[in-house]
């Protein structure tokens, strides 16, 4: 992985333009996703990173129409040139599983406890490719071999509760691959697994991608995971993209303070034992009532007046890197001036200030960034 | 390539499963739920006031001893807004007095059920082990009966009267409440804070009253509302069969029975007590559901 | 009566988080069945004992009743001896119990006929009512719940929920009279009372049981439909396997029926089992209203005329039916649920 192809080499299979998702109920609107733009080519992996409520999950669910009826999706999603936004439920049914498939977070919950795993895979196969049960079973066993589940012939008759978490997630992946989808969405697919299994599953996904040329979107709150497995990374905050870059470029040259804060929240081998991890103080904004200016400003250590007054546009630094920030960090450690700013902003907002102010934490912050920058 | 995995922290939201629910929707459904709570609760309060104060405040005819000369007057007759029954008694007055009987039975049975059944269940769940098994086996025997069958036999053993109806019906309510109290108690008993209290050496009465009772009350309150509905219906059935409130004293059940006898001539006489039962049962059911939702969302 | 179980029923999903590694430990299913059956035996004994004690406490003197109003003391004593009432209570209980096991249920003091013979006449009527009402309640509840769950919060859903809540609040004896009022008195489509045995005419038999079966089934059906709708809706909102099914490209009916309902069926089964008792108990009052010559009516007449032999057997059989229904449900549950079938604990 990590081969640094130019995006132009491969024609994009998925093009998302100005995607917006608004939940409206009884006259009030919640803007969950606010103008997403990205392209994805076959064989590439895009990681979408953000806190819960940042819209990353809603953003990908909207691609296949998997949102509740109260959601209104606008903009454009083109899969191989075919527009998906506005398709009828029936037309979407033929997209789901066949063109775009999805792997969900909790393998324990993603499988129907009352059906054996074989029939759940066979259902996925036969929904888009009508065939006899026996043929589907042969295909299901093939799929289980593809996801490297040992002794698939016996596993196929077993029920989810008889399998381990890692095995279940392999089954879920097999279901997703049943109709050879062009785009595979992994929504926090490894979050519920232990670290070793997590690595195995991620390697499996990489392997499958190489073999089948599938385009992968991985949703994660774990920026480390994205650094290791994605070609491109998109950081979302409050329904908006705040930084979008090639993985290498992103981690060598972080621009957006939010991305940097996310990095600071990851424990590092270089971190002094028992030191506190940085957490981002405050809360994500109320999506039904977004503030003017940069949505991250109330929590941002670098925020100034311009940040609360005017929203920074998503600007292109170069071909591989765009970000939305008035005061990009530019890869430098924070100056001391930032600390005063934080205190001021926190006091203004009444937000909790316990988090990102102590100098010790700031050191951790900086060192973690250095660590990243060395890669 | 080391896989870094951040331990789940609330700030970074280890999970982002469902799309964030729009808060407005929650607020609206909350408002609607509140409205149902107020409506059903209001109806219950109104019913209780009407049935217990009505006989003293309203200019009602006596519920019994009417003259056959006034038999089966249509609704809207002078002095009889809902008309009279075949015996010439004022229907409205009988409805209100009958409601008083139904509500008295319902409240008394549920109070007894709450106190006796609640204590039995809480103690059983608190003690656990053999005494718990023994208590539950005894309750199983009572619960094994179809409740109406048991209540009918009991009512006949005791003889028809208001207090006896109450006693007979507690045979249903005590084991039901006890079971719920027991399961709630056992749930509380397994909570870390309770084990902490036990380890800290809190005396049993403190554990029982500080920790267990406050935690099982919401569950029981919800059941009591449903219990009111069930008891009122069962009382109606008993009185309908002539084993509950003895005629000529009114009860919604025996009013339905009397109306049945003259159904082809005066069908509206079935409707009044039926409507009274419907409104009462519906209100208690709705109130119970609201309380359950309230408990569950907490 | 129909909402008895409401507070106690929890979704089966919530209490099942078995061990994650599959292992087959002997046959958990068989062990479970044996344990349940073994538990049911002492329960039945205890129930029969309680019935006996209750009847001992019945007011009035059965011997005097039997002998008639103008019998002399001596005559009453003679009747008492012939009925075996002069012997001590424990002995009489044992006698009754062994008699019951042999099929000798004693003699009705009112009609003078053997109770077993009376029951043989009456039981089929009650079983027909209970059986049909049971099937109808489930058959009505299923499509209604699925229809409501198809679009949660939609107009169909709301109408169904309001309608079922209202019907649920109508006690079955009131429901019975309302049905008579509409279909027998006003429309004159169906007979108001009476039972036609199936041997006489199948059509007339079905016509005669329609209203009582409806009166028993409608409140139950509403109860089940509401439970099922709630459980399906909960799954549609939050269950991961529903998301998986949608992401596969499955349609709403397929999701509801194949995925959600399969999981709800266990909770429904529990509920149905708990309600068999209420259903059987309901026949007492429904048979009275529709003049159905079933066991419920037999029991009620026995209670009122202090016919101890009849009451004892009837009450015991009612309780036994409820116990066996629950036993059956427990076993069905175990047979159907793969988590129990293949052992997860």
Reported as type and span, the H/E element at residue A183 is strand A183-187
CB-CB under 8 Å, C55 with B153? yes
Place of tokens 């930084």: A243
DSSP labels, A56-70: HHHHHHGGGT-S-TT
* Mean pLDDT, each 10-residue run in order, chain A (375 residues): 46 86 76 85 87 82 84 87 85 86 85 88 87 88 86 87 86 87 86 81 86 88 82 85 82 78 67 60 73 78 77 77 77 37 35 37 41 40
DSSP labels, C223-290: HHHHHHHHHHHHHHHH-HHHHHHHHHT--HHHIIIIIIIHHHHHHHHHHHHHHHHHHHHHHHHHHHHH
Range B130-146 average pLDDT = 85
Residue closest to C339 by CA, chosen among A113, A178, B245: A113
Q: What pLDDT, on the 0 to 100 scale, is given for residue C217?
A: 93
CB-CB under 8 Å, C249 with A93? yes
Judging by beta carbons within 10 Å of its beta carbon (0-12, 13-18, 19+), is residue B121 exposed, middle or buried? Answer: buried
Residue C136 covered by a domain = yes
Residue C342 covered by a domain = no
A268-306 burial code (b ≥16 CB/10 A, e <16): beebeeeeebbbbbbebbebbebeebbbbbbbbbbbeee
| B60 pLDDT higher than 90 | no
**Cα dihedral A172/A167/A118/C245 (nearest 10):** -20
The size of the A-C interface in CB pairs under 8 A is 104
Considering the entire predicted model, what is its pTM?
0.79
Q: List the single residue in C with minimal CA-CA distance to B25.
A: C153
Q: List the single residue in C with minimal CA-CA distance to A180.
A: C248
Q: List the single residue in A with minimal CA-CA distance to C19.
A: A161
> How high is the mean pLDDT of chain B?
79
Q: What pLDDT, on the 0 to 100 scale, is given for residue B29?
A: 66
CB-CB under 8 Å, C7 with B222? yes
CB-CB under 8 Å, C1 with B237? yes
Closest CA–CA distance from residue B293 to any residue of chain A (Å): 21
Residue C223 covered by a domain = yes
Confirm if A67 and A58 have CB atoms less than 8 A apart: yes
Q: Which residue among C22, C239, C246 places its CB closest to the CB of A162? A: C22
Is the bond preceding residue B248 a cis peptide, omega within 30 degrees? yes
Retrieve residue A55's tokens: 């819209």
Q: Which residue among C19, C240, C262 places its CB closest to the CB of A114? A: C262
Chains touching C (3+ CB pairs < 8 Å): A, B
Q: Which residue among C243, C247, C258 places its CB closest to the CB of A97? A: C247
- Residue A246 CA to its chain's centroid (Å): 15
Interface residues of A toward C, Cβ cutoff 8 Å, are 64, 66, 69, 90, 93-98, 101-102, 104-106, 108-116, 120, 123-124, 127-128, 158-159, 161-165, 172, 175-176, 178-179
DSSP labels, C299-326: HHHHHHTT-HHHHHHHHHHHHHHHHHHH
Q: What pLDDT, on the 0 to 100 scale, is given for residue B9?
A: 29
Judging by beta carbons within 10 Å of its beta carbon (0-12, 13-18, 19+), is residue B293 exposed, middle or buried? Answer: middle
Q: What is the rounded distance in angstroms from the CA atom of residue B256 to the CA atom of residue B95?
A: 11
Residue C159: which region, alpha, beta or left (left: phi > 0; alpha: psi -120 to 50)? alpha
Helix, strand or coil for residue A241? strand
Q: What pLDDT, on the 0 to 100 scale, is given for residue A25?
A: 65
Residue C75 covered by a domain = no
Closest CA–CA distance from residue B245 to any residue of chain A (Å): 50
Q: Which residue among C50, C181, C281 places its CB closest to the CB of B146? A: C281
DSSP labels, C11-61: -GGGG----SS----S-HHHHHHHHHHHHHHHHHHHHHHHHHHHHHT-SS-
Confirm if B113 and B174 have CB atoms less than 8 A apart: yes
Confirm if C33 and C331 have CB atoms less than 8 A apart: yes
What ipTM, to 2 d.p.? Answer: 0.80
Residues of B in contact with C287 (CB under 8 A): none
**Cα dihedral C16/C276/C148/B284 (nearest 10):** -100
Residue closest to C298 by CA, chosen among C174, C113, C64: C113
Residue-wise pLDDT tens digits, C133-183: 999 999 999 999 999 988 887 889 889 988 998 998 898 899 998 898 888
Retrieve residue C40's tokens: 């049911």
Confirm if C256 and C144 have CB atoms less than 8 A apart: no
The size of the A-B interface in CB pairs under 8 A is 109
Range B80-89 average pLDDT = 75
Retrieve residue A76's tokens: 């454009």
Confirm if B100 and B249 have CB atoms less than 8 A apart: no
Q: What is the rounded distance in angstroms from the CA atom of residue A311 to the CA atom of residue A241?
A: 12
Closest CA–CA distance from residue A309 to any residue of chain C (Å): 39
Helix, strand or coil for residue A273? coil
* pLDDT range class, residue B66, cuts 50, 70, 90: low
- CATH classification at residue C212: 1.10.3720.10
Closest CA–CA distance from residue A143 to any residue of chain C (Å): 15
Residue C306 covered by a domain = yes
Q: What pLDDT, on the 0 to 100 scale, is given for residue C9?
A: 39
Q: List the single residue in B with minimal CA-CA distance to C60.
A: B157
Retrieve residue C288's tokens: 């009275």
Q: What pLDDT, on the 0 to 100 scale, is given for residue A330?
A: 67
Q: What pLDDT, on the 0 to 100 scale, is given for residue C312?
A: 87
Q: Which residue among C243, C247, C263 places its CB closest to the CB of A101? A: C247
Q: How far is CA B159 from CA A235, A271, B169, C300, C311, in A?
A: 77, 81, 13, 14, 16
Residues of B in contact with C1 (CB under 8 A): 147-148, 230, 233-234, 237
Residues of A in contact with C245 (CB under 8 A): 112, 123
Confirm if A187 and A175 have CB atoms less than 8 A apart: no
Domain range annotation of chain A: 10-230, 247-373
Chains touching A (3+ CB pairs < 8 Å): B, C
Q: What is the rounded distance in angstroms from the CA atom of residue C292 to the CA atom of residue C288?
A: 7
CB-CB under 8 Å, B176 with C315? no
Residues of B in contact with C289 (CB under 8 A): 260
Residues of B in contact with C171 (CB under 8 A): 233, 236-237, 277, 281
Report the 3 state secondary structure along C142-153: HHHHHHHHHCCC
Q: What pLDDT, on the 0 to 100 scale, is given for residue C216?
A: 93
Residue-wise pLDDT tens digits, C176-228: 988 988 888 888 888 888 888 888 888 888 898 999 999 999 999 999 999 99
Q: What is the rounded distance in angstroms from the CA atom of residue B176 to the CA atom of residue C214?
A: 27
Task: State whether residue C59 sits within 8 Å of chain B by CB.
Answer: yes
Q: What is the rounded distance in angstroms from the CA atom of residue B22 to the CA atom of residue B235?
A: 45
Mode of pairing for the β-strands spanning A240-246 and A232-237:
antiparallel
Lowest mean pLDDT among A2-6, B38-42, C286-290: A2-6
- What Rg value do the Cα atoms of chain A yield, rounded? 22
Q: What is the rounded distance in angstroms from the CA atom of residue A370 to the CA atom of residue A270?
A: 10
Interface residues of C toward A, Cβ cutoff 8 Å, are 13, 16, 18-23, 151, 239-241, 243-251, 258-259, 262-263, 337-339, 342, 344
Retrieve residue A82's tokens: 């075919």
CB-CB under 8 Å, A51 with B23? no
| C2 pLDDT higher than 70 | no
Q: What is the rounded distance in angstroms from the CA atom of residue C301 to the CA atom of residue C296?
A: 9
Residue C15 covered by a domain = no
Report the 3 state secondary structure along A117-155: HHHHHHHHHHHHCCCCHHHHHHHHHHHHHHCCCCCHHHH
Residues of B in contact with C284 (CB under 8 A): 148-149, 152, 241
Q: What is the rounded distance in angstroms from the CA atom of residue B151 to the CA atom of residue C136?
A: 27
Q: State whether the Cα torsion A281-A287-A291-A297 is positive or negative.
A: positive
Strand-pair partners of A243: A235, A323
- The tally of domains found in chain C comes to 1
Task: State whether residue B42 sits within 8 Å of chain C by CB.
Answer: no
Lowest mean pLDDT among A8-12, B219-223, C255-259: A8-12
Q: Which residue among A105, A228, A286 places its CB closest to the CB of B3? A: A228
Retrieve residue A333's tokens: 């450690």
Mode of pairing for the β-strands spanning A71-79 and A12-25:
antiparallel
Confirm if A179 and A101 have CB atoms less than 8 A apart: yes
Reported as type and span, the H/E element at residue A234 is strand A232-237
CATH number of A10-230: 3.40.50.300
CB-CB under 8 Å, A95 with C248? no
Retrieve residue A227's tokens: 């650094």
Instruction: Write out the residue range of the structural domain in which residue C224 sits.
Output: 121-336
Retrieve residue C180's tokens: 């008579």
Residue C90 covered by a domain = no
Q: What pLDDT, on the 0 to 100 scale, is given for residue B224?
A: 86
Residue C141 covered by a domain = yes
């Amino acid at each position: 992985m990590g081969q640094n192809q130019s995006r132009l080499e491969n024609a994009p299979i998925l093009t998302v333009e100005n995607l917006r998702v608004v939940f409206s109920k009884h006259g009030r609107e919640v803007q969950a996703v606010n103008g997403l733009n990205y392209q994805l080519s076959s064989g590439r992996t895009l990681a979408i990173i953000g806190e819960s409520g940042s819209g990353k999950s809603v953003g990908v669910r909207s691609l296949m129409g998997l949102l509740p009826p109260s959601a209104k999706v606008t903009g454009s999603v083109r899969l191989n040139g075919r527009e998906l936004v506005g398709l009828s439920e029936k037309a979407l049914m033929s997209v789901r599983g066949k063109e775009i498939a999805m792997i969900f977070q909790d393998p324990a919950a993603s499988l129907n406890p009352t059906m054996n795993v074989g029939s759940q895979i066979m259902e996925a196969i036969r929904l888009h490719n009508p065939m006899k049960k026996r043929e589907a079973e042969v295909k299901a066993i093939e799929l289980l071999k593809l996801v490297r589940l040992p002794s698939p012939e016996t596993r196929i008759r077993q029920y989810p509760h008889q399998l381990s978490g890692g095995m279940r997630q392999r089954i879920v992946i097999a279901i997703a691959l049943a109709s050879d989808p062009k785009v595979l969405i992994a929504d926090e697919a490894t979050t519920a697994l232990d670290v070793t299994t997590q690595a195995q599953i991620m390697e499996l996904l990489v392997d499958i991608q190489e073999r089948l040329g599938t385009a992968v979107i991985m949703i994660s709150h774990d920026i480390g995971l994205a650094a290791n497995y994605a070609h491109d990374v998109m950081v979302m905050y409050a329904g908006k993209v705040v930084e979008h870059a090639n993985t290498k470029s992103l981690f060598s040259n972080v621009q957006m303070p939010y991305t940097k804060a996310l990095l600071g929240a990851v424990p590092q081998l270089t971190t002094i034992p028992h030191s506190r991890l940085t957490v981002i103080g405050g809360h994500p904004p109320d999506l039904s009532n977004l503030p003017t200016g940069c949505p991250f400003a109330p929590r941002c250590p670098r925020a100034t007046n311009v940040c609360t007054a005017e929203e920074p546009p998503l600007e292109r630094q170069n071909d591989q890197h765009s970000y939305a920030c008035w005061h990009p960090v530019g890869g430098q450690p924070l100056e001391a001036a930032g600390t005063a700013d934080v205190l001021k902003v926190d006091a203004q907002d009444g937000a909790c200030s316990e988090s990102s102010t102590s100098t010790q934490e700031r050191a951790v912050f900086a060192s973690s960034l250095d660590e990243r920058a060395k890669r | 390539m080391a896989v870094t995995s951040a331990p789940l922290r609330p700030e970074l939201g280890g999970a982002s499963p469902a799309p964030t629910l729009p808060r407005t929707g929650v607020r609206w459904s909350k408002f609607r739920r509140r409205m149902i709570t107020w409506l059903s609760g209001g109806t219950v309060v109104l019913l209780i006031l009407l049935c217990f104060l009505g006989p003293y405040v309203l200019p009602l005819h006596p519920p019994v001893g009417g003259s056959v000369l006034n038999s089966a007057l249509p609704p809207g007759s002078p002095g009889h807004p809902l008309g009279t029954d075949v015996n010439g008694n004022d229907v409205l007055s009988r409805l209100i007095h009958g409601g008083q009987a139904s509500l008295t039975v319902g409240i008394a049975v549920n109070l007894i059920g709450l106190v006796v059944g609640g204590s039995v269940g809480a103690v059983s769940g608190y003690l656990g082990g053999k005494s718990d098994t023994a208590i539950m086996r005894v309750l199983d025997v009572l619960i094994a009966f179809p409740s109406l069958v048991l209540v009918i036999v009991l009512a006949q053993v005791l003889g028809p009267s208001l207090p006896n109806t109450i006693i007979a019906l507690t045979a249903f309510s005590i084991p039901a409440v006890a079971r719920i109290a027991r399961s709630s108690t056992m749930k509380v008993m397994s909570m870390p804070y309770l084990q902490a209290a036990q380890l800290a050496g809190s005396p049993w009465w403190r554990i029982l009253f500080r920790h267990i009772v406050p935690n099982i009350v919401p569950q029981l309150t919800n059941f009591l509302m449903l219990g009111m509905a069930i008891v009122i219906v069962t009382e109606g059935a008993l009185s309908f069969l002539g084993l509950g409130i003895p005629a000529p004293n009114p009860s919604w059940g025996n009013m339905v029975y009397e109306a049945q006898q003259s159904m082809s001539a005066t069908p509206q006489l079935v409707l009044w007590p039926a409507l009274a039962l419907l409104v009462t049962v519906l209100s208690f059911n709705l109130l119970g559901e609201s309380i359950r939702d309230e408990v569950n969302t907490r | 009566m129909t909402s008895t179980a409401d507070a106690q029923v929890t979704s089966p999903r919530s209490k099942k988080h078995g061990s994650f590694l599959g292992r087959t430990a002997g046959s958990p299913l068989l062990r479970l069945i044996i344990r349940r059956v073994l538990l049911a035996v002492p329960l039945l004994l205890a129930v029969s004992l309680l019935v006996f004690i209750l009847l001992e406490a019945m007011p009035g003197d059965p011997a005097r009743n039997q002998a008639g109003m103008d019998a002399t003391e001596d005559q009453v004593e003679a009747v008492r001896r012939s009925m075996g009432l002069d012997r001590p209570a424990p002995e009489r209980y044992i006698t009754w119990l062994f008699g019951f096991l042999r099929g000798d249920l004693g003699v009705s003091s009112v009609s003078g006929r053997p109770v077993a013979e009376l029951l043989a006449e009456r039981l089929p009527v009650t079983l027909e009512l209970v059986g049909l009402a049971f099937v109808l309640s489930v058959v009505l509840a299923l499509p209604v719940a699925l229809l409501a769950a198809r679009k949660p919060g939609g107009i169909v859903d709301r109408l169904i929920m309001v309608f079922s809540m209202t019907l649920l609040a109508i006690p079955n004896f009131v429901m019975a009279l309302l049905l008579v009022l509409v279909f027998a008195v006003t429309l004159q489509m169906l007979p108001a009372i009476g039972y036609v045995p199936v041997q006489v005419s199948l059509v007339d038999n079905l016509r005669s049981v329609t209203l009582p079966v409806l009166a028993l089934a409608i409140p139950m059906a509403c109860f089940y439909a509401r439970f099922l709708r709630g459980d399906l809706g909960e799954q549609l909102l939050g269950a991961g396997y529903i998301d998986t099914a949608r992401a596969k490209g499955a349609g709403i009916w397929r999701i509801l029926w194949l995925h959600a309902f399969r999981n709800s069926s266990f909770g429904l089964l529990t509920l149905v089992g708990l309600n068999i008792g209420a259903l059987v108990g309901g026949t007492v009052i429904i048979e009275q209203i529709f003049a159905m010559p079933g066991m419920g009516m037999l029991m009620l007449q026995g209670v009122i005329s202090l016919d101890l032999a009849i009451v004892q057997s009837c009450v015991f059989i009612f309780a036994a039916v409820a116990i066996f229904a629950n036993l059956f449900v427990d076993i069905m549950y175990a047979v159907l649920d793969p988590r129990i079938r293949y052992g997860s604990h």
